[in-house]
Amino acid sequence: MAGFTVAIVGRPNVGKSTLFNRLLEQRKAIVDDVSGVTRDRQYGVADWNGKTFNVIDTGGFVSKSDDVFEREIRKQAKVAIEEANAIVFMCDVSTGITDLDSDVADLLRRTSKPVYLVVNKVDNPQRQLEATEFYSLGFEHVHFISSMSGSGTGELLDDLVANITEDMGDATAETDVPKIAIIGQPNVGKSSLLNALIGQERNIVSDIAGTTRDTIHTRYNMYQKDFLLIDTAGIRRKAKVQEDLEFYSVIRAIKAVDEADVVMLLLDAEKGVTGQDLSIFSLAARKGKGVVVLVNKWDVMDKGTNTARDYEKELKKRLAPFSDVPVIFTSVIEKQRIFKAIEVALEVYDNRTRKIQTSKLNEIMLKAIEAYHPPVVRGTPIRIKYVTQLPTHTPAFAFFCNLPDDVKTPYRNYLENQIRTNFNFTGVPVKIFFRKK
């Protein structure tokens, strides 16, 4: 079981994206920071009382033109029923129950998955009274909220996270075999890559393309290493729902990220990195997954002497601040560097599990801190006495100091940089915490 995914469905203008932003509130700055994406985000990770889950705003996938929107909203609802773990069905008290609301409600009542009817814009007591009309839609879980002010959203979150059990948190704990997810926009070459690997590699242990699986897992044995490839490419072809539905492929990609240890993000060399790529990249980083970027179709590029170097430099600017990521220029068609890509992904896997000895860590890091001190705060110097790697799944370090709340981002970045320079965490997000000594 992968991470928990909540889809928000409903008519335009009921307040889906307002709620979405509120659910992601604490994370917003971080996500935006990592991705550098300013356009509307469609999905992200919400945190509530230590539980995290994916949130998808299906509104982001609906085309803006009026004549198609009714059909599209029904479609989104169907995909949400099929793909999400829970559905937030949002209505608007100020318009009352519309025909489309009733329609979508009919669809949603048929699923056994938890559906939360959320009546939004309940900003005052008068609207509280009006909202009672929505009980007639016949849902068990009903919430009256104001996304704008946040009233009622805490209770909604309580209800949502009640569905999340501990073992859903990290699907990667399932087995010790490295899991590599192949992710990328349509047509970047995901299936070709998979075929190339399968074609040359005859030691496929098993093909677990089960009907209950959301993603296709194929187990390989190469370079004396055993690993699972998580494939999102074949899915489109098997999809029961509308073939080209962007929402469909995005939700599958999110699940694949959840299931993976390392995300292999394929880009089209000519098209470069897209907003959607950056969203997946920051999602993976946020979830502590390893990342390798493949710039595929490199064969079609006109190559001067510095092309790859310049390309990589520009690309890493877009990926900043998490830019200590391997970039590999591949041609699946010409079978260039595709095994290299697997090798590097497995190195990233190793980096992600790396544990640095405390004595070694302190020896190096205290020297780095000595060489460049944290700034003085209100006349008091910040003193970092000790650092230790936490026993977490993905690399995390705690620095013990006198004023943990006063260490700011630039110094945090300096420490991360020093860790990366001295130890190999390439392709792996590194978390840094400051604690009272």
Candidates 426, 419, 437; CA nearest to 365 is 419
Query: What does the block give as tokens for 212?
Result: 């209950």
CB of 301 to ligand GDP, least distance (A): 10
Q: Which of 18, 52, 249, 389 contacts ligand GDP by CB under 6 A? A: 18
C-alpha to C-alpha distance for 45 and 67, rounded to whole angstroms: 32
Q: Which is nearer to ligand GDP, 213 or 355 (CB)?
A: 213
Q: Which of 230, 251, 332, 387 contacts ligand GDP by CB under 6 A? A: 332
- Label residue 81 left, alpha or beta by phi (over 0 means left) and psi (-120 to 50 means alpha): alpha
Site residue total, ligand GDP (CB under 6 A): 31
Q: Which is nearer to ligand GDP, 22 or 78 (CB)?
A: 22
Q: Which residues inside 92-131 make contact with ligand GDP, applying CB under 6 A?
A: 120-121, 123
Helix (H) or strand (E) holding 88: strand 86-92
Would you say 126 is a known binding-site residue? no
Asked if residue 14 lies in contact with residue 6, where contact means CB atoms within 8 angstroms, the answer is no
Would you say 96 is a known binding-site residue? no
Q: Does 299 bind ligand GDP (CB under 6 A)?
A: yes
Q: Which is nearer to ligand GDP, 233 or 430 (CB)?
A: 233
C-alpha to C-alpha distance for 266 and 263, rounded to whole angstroms: 9
Would you say 268 is a known binding-site residue? no
Would you say 13 is a known binding-site residue? yes
CB of 400 to ligand GDP, least distance (A): 43
Cα dihedral value 164, 165, 168, 170, nearest 10: 110
Helices (H), ranges, 132-200: 153-161, 190-200
Q: Does 148 bind ligand GDP (CB under 6 A)?
A: yes
- Label residue 281 left, alpha or beta by phi (over 0 means left) and psi (-120 to 50 means alpha): alpha
C-alpha to C-alpha distance for 234 and 415, rounded to whole angstroms: 42
Query: What does the block give as tokens for 103?
Result: 């329609």
Rounded to 5°, the CA angle 178-240-250 comes to: 50
- Label residue 39 left, alpha or beta by phi (over 0 means left) and psi (-120 to 50 means alpha): beta
Query: What does the block give as tokens for 329?
Result: 């220029």
Q: Does 275 bind ligand GDP (CB under 6 A)?
A: no
C-alpha to C-alpha distance for 26 and 364, rounded to whole angstroms: 33
Counting beta carbons within 10 angstroms of the beta carbon of residue 8, is it exposed (0 to 12), middle (13 to 18) or buried (19 or more)?
Answer: buried
Q: Which is nearer to ligand GDP, 8 or 387 (CB)?
A: 8
The residues facing 381 across adjacent strands are 376
CB of 417 to ligand GDP, least distance (A): 34
Q: Does 75 bind ligand GDP (CB under 6 A)?
A: no
C-alpha to C-alpha distance for 244 and 250, rounded to whole angstroms: 11
Asked if residue 19 lies in contact with residue 8, where contact means CB atoms within 8 angstroms, the answer is yes
CB of 140 to ligand GDP, least distance (A): 23
Q: Which of 2, 6, 16, 101 contacts ligand GDP by CB under 6 A? A: 16
Asked if residue 423 lies in contact with residue 283, where contact means CB atoms within 8 angstroms, the answer is no
In the shown chain, the binding pattern of residues 221 to 260 toward ligand GDP, with x for contact by CB under 6 A and - for none, equals ------------x---------------------------
CB of 40 to ligand GDP, least distance (A): 9
Q: Does 274 bind ligand GDP (CB under 6 A)?
A: no
CB of 165 to ligand GDP, least distance (A): 30
Candidates 162, 121, 117; CA nearest to 143 is 117
CB of 181 to ligand GDP, least distance (A): 13
Would you say 123 is a known binding-site residue? yes
CB of 184 to ligand GDP, least distance (A): 6
Would you say 121 is a known binding-site residue? yes
Would you say 158 is a known binding-site residue? no
C-alpha to C-alpha distance for 9 and 4, rounded to whole angstroms: 16
Q: Which is nearer to ligand GDP, 37 or 233 (CB)?
A: 233
Q: Which of 42, 85, 147, 351 contacts ligand GDP by CB under 6 A? A: 147
DSSP code of 31? H
Q: Which of 152, 178, 184, 374 contacts ligand GDP by CB under 6 A? A: 184
Would you say 186 is a known binding-site residue? yes
Q: Does 31 bind ligand GDP (CB under 6 A)?
A: no
Rounded to 5°, the CA angle 314-318-31 comes to: 170
Q: Which of 1, 204, 208, 300 contacts ligand GDP by CB under 6 A? A: 300
Q: Which of 5, 85, 192, 249 contacts ligand GDP by CB under 6 A? A: 192
Q: Which is nearer to ligand GDP, 87 or 365 (CB)?
A: 87
Annotated binding site for GTP: 10-17, 57-61, 120-123, 184-191, 231-235, 296-299
Binding site for ligand GDP (CB under 6 A): 10, 12-18, 59, 120-121, 123, 146-148, 184, 186-192, 233, 296-297, 299-300, 331-333
